Chains A and B, each alone.
Chain A
Amino acid sequence: NAGVTQTPKFQVLKTGQSMTLQCAQDMNHNSMYWYRQDPGMGLRLIYYSASEGTTDKGEVPNGYNVSRLNKREFSLRLESAAPSQTSVYFCASRAIEAFFGQGTRLTVV
């Protein structure tokens, strides 16, 4: 019973580098979400996917792209990382309550 799995758990990038955060869930949920968590700001929604094949912008989508590869997987891509994207990233999926991954701590230097 893995739930929601995120990789990697930690990452350091240089400004301008690109990377993809991976997320997979094994609970057959339709909806999946990417959030970022910054001190004093709670969790802010970056993008979400209501179902396979659909994605929508959340509150803070700039600088990110997403792909809903299939029902299980929802990836978040940073094309050109900026220091302002240093954050902890959470992927979530759900039926009623959200199931969260363990988070990815990303530092952009």
Chain B
Amino acid sequence: AQKITQTQPGMFVQEKEAVTLDCTYDTSDPSYGLFWYKQPSSGEMIFLIYQGSYDQQNATEGRYSLNFQKARKSANLVISASQLGDSAMYFCAMREGAAGTYKYIFGTGTRLKVLA
């Protein structure tokens, strides 16, 4: 079974609008972390935002926010006021395991295209 599911292979959004990229996860660990990474066409992986499983509030980093719904096991990324430079591949990832034995599991990604 997929541990991280990103159901949107591709998304379009108009510049300056907000967009939500979906991510659901599956784990039986009580302690885990959820991450979003951006991969532009240049290929590097850029960390965007992190949410711990025990964090009470949704994480925010500038224009990025993570809509964490623990009961639904979803961790959607919201990008507000989209910019052309946001066009990229976006990966949701989950960290499992105990400290010292952490493993990351990645989703298959969502390609976002911002339209002018």
Interface residues on chain A, number (Cβ under 8 Å):
27
CB distance from A98 to the nearest CB of B (A): 6
- CB closest residue in chain A, given B49: A97
B43, B91, B102: the one contacting A102 at CB < 8 Å is: B43
CB distance from B41 to the nearest CB of A (A): 12
A96 pairs with B50, CB closer than 8 A:
yes
> How far, in angstroms, from A13 to B35 measured CA to CA in the complex?
34
Contact with B along A68-109 (1 / 0, CB 8 A): 000000000000000000001010101011111011010000
A42 pairs with B108, CB closer than 8 A:
yes
B4, B33, B100 interface centre (most CB from chain A within 10 Å): B100
CB distance from B7 to the nearest CB of A (A): 13
Asked whether any CB of chain B lies closer than 8 Å to the CB of A43, the reply is yes
Which residues from chain A contact B93 at a C-beta distance below 8 Å? 43, 98
Which residues from chain B contact A48 at a C-beta distance below 8 Å? 103
A40 pairs with B108, CB closer than 8 A:
yes
B104 pairs with A98, CB closer than 8 A:
yes
> How far, in angstroms, from A40 to B89 measured CA to CA in the complex?
11
Which B residues have a C-beta under 8 Å from some C-beta of A?
A: 4, 33, 35, 37, 43-45, 47, 50, 91, 93, 100-109
Q: What are 19 A-B interface contacts by the 8 Å CB criterion?
A: A35-B106, A41-B108, A42-B107, A42-B108, A43-B91, A43-B93, A43-B104, A44-B106, A45-B105, A48-B103, A50-B101, A50-B102, A58-B103, A96-B33, A97-B35, A98-B47, A100-B37, A102-B43, A102-B44
Which A residues have a C-beta under 8 Å from some C-beta of B?
A: 30-31, 33, 35, 40-45, 48, 50-51, 56, 58, 88, 90, 92, 94, 96-100, 102-103, 105
